[in-house]
């Protein structure tokens, strides 16, 4: 372990946080290739304020938002989570999407090219904002490392296509560049990407989408020195956390402050969550359903996940690594005067953790 000394001379363990900048937060997802510059600058400033190479470091993963989903949707590129040619399981898209799935290889590959050009433009903008804030940020592209659309490499699942496990799945091409950058003292900025997928003649499409949520899940959970170092994961979204229903369309929606996940990665019954997907019709990676699934997977392996609104006090507190402690302090002071802990009372967000 690496330790840093606090002002009180008490050893403090170095922490590594994976931050997921939601595409809906840093772009105007309803308008083609439009940045939300205010939100992006706020994220960069908060990360710069919390970053300390000897105490707290980060991996930043960002979604595509309006820089990618539009192009991917127009040609039928879909999010993938399992190796190609696994019967009936290869795609995260809905059944109705599969019914009219595009099988034109030339069109799909052109869609890959258009989508990659778009997401690389966004990655440059995010990386530039972080560098301008004084951070040693470097963009890392999954496609360039040979990573396929499911997050692994060619040959995954060859020995047992009916059961994908950690024994026959290899995301090292994705993980290694990130680990190398961290080791060198850099801040990796990884983006959701359009990648190659099925081979010619297979039942799987030649290209697909590797979502930022899948990337975060793999970095935080796949056995590696990087995963062993991860202390927490933070999703920065355009809402205050996970709700019982869509807060933009349902006035009765309430914020779920804590979600417990069992040993199998299942969300405990009783939370009353309706994660019915993205509110954007062109989203190709599953929206909130995918996000919540990735968060549950991470929590299953003992890494607490925090979902907060980008640019809020809660986001700043989570990026600093102080959200969980602040939440505990608030809960322990429930019987005291409310005005004794106003800052904790103002924190809004959802914590996803393993069942106790």
How does pLDDT run across 291-340, given as a tens digit for each residue?
888 999 999 999 999 999 999 999 999 999 999 999 888 776 655 545 44
**Closest CA relative to residue 301, chosen from 264, 247, 343:** 264
Quick one: angle between helices 212-221 and 287-300, nearest 10? 0
How many whole angstroms separate alpha carbon 259 and alpha carbon 255?
A: 11
Mean pLDDT across the chain: 84
Partners of 17 in the β-ladder: 58, 232
pLDDT at 12 over 70: no
Q: What is the pLDDT of residue 267?
A: 84
Domain ranges of the chain: 15-86+98-151+169-332+347-354
Contact 169, 201 (CB under 8 A): no
Q: What is the pLDDT of residue 287?
A: 60
Q: What is the pLDDT of residue 89?
A: 43
pLDDT at 52 over 80: yes
Query: What is the C-alpha radius of gyration for the chain, rounded to an integer number of angstroms?
Result: 20
Q: What is the pLDDT of residue 16?
A: 97
Partners of 191 in the β-ladder: 62
How many whole angstroms separate alpha carbon 155 and alpha carbon 89?
A: 16
Instruction: For residue 173, give the 3-state DSSP assignment.
Output: helix
If pLDDT is split at 50, 70 and 90, which confidence band does 266 have?
Answer: confident
The residues, ordered by sequence, that sit 6+ positions from 209 with a Cβ below 8 Å of its Cβ are 68, 72, 77, 78, 79, 80, 115, 149, 192, 193, 194, 195, 284, 285
The residues, ordered by sequence, that sit 6+ positions from 251 with a Cβ below 8 Å of its Cβ are none
pLDDT at 271 over 70: no
- Lowest pLDDT segment from 18-27, 67-76, 209-218: 67-76
Interval 257-282 mean pLDDT? 70
Of the candidate CATH numbers 2.40.160.10, 3.40.140.10, 3.40.1160.10, 3.10.20.30, the domain formed by 15-86+98-151+169-332+347-354 belongs to: 3.40.1160.10
DSSP codes, 73-107: HHHT--BB-S-TT-TTTSB-S-HHHHHT----HHH
How many whole angstroms separate alpha carbon 57 and alpha carbon 229?
A: 10
Contact 133, 187 (CB under 8 A): no
Instruction: For residue 343, give the 3-state DSSP assignment.
Output: helix
């Amino acid at each position: 372990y690496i330790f840093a000394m606090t002002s009180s001379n008490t050893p403090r363990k170095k922490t590594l946080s994976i931050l997921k900048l939601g595409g809906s937060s840093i772009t105007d997802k309803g308008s083609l290739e439009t940045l939300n510059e205010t939100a992006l600058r706020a994220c960069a400033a908060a990360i710069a304020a919390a970053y300390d190479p000897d105490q707290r470091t980060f991996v930043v993963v960002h979604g595509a938002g309006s820089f990618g989903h539009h192009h991917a949707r127009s040609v039928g590129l879909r999010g993938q989570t399992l190796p190609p040619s696994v019967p009936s399981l290869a795609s995260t898209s809905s059944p109705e999407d599969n019914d009219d799935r595009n099988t034109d290889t030339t069109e799909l590959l052109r869609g890959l090219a258009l989508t990659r050009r778009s997401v690389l433009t966004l990655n440059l903008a995010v990386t530039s904002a972080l560098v301008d804030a004084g951070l040693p940020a470097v963009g890392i592209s999954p496609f360039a490392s040979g990573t396929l659309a499911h997050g692994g490499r060619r040959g995954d699942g060859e020995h047992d296509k009916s059961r994908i496990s950690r024994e026959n799945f290899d995301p090292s091409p994705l993980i290694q560049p990130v680990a190398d950058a961290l080791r060198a003292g850099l801040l990796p900025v990884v983006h959701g990407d359009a990648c190659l997928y099925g081979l010619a003649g297979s039942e799987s499409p030649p290209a697909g989408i590797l979502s930022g949520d899948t990337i975060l899940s793999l970095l935080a959970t796949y056995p590696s020195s990087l995963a062993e170092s991860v202390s927490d994961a933070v999703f920065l979204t355009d809402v205050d956390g996970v709700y019982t229903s869509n807060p933009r369309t349902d006035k009765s929606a309430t914020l779920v402050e804590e979600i417990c996940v069992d040993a199998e990665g299942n969300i405990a019954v009783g939370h009353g969550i309706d994660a019915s997907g993205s509110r954007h019709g062109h989203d190709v990676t599953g929206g909130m359903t995918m996000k919540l699934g990735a968060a549950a997977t991470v929590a299953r392996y003992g890494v607490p996940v925090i979902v907060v609104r980008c640019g809020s006090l809660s986001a700043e507190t989570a990026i600093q690594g102080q959200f969980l402690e602040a939440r505990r302090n608030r809960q322990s002071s429930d019987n005291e005067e409310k005005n004794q802990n106003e800052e904790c009372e103002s924190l809004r967000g959802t914590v996803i953790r393993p069942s106790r």
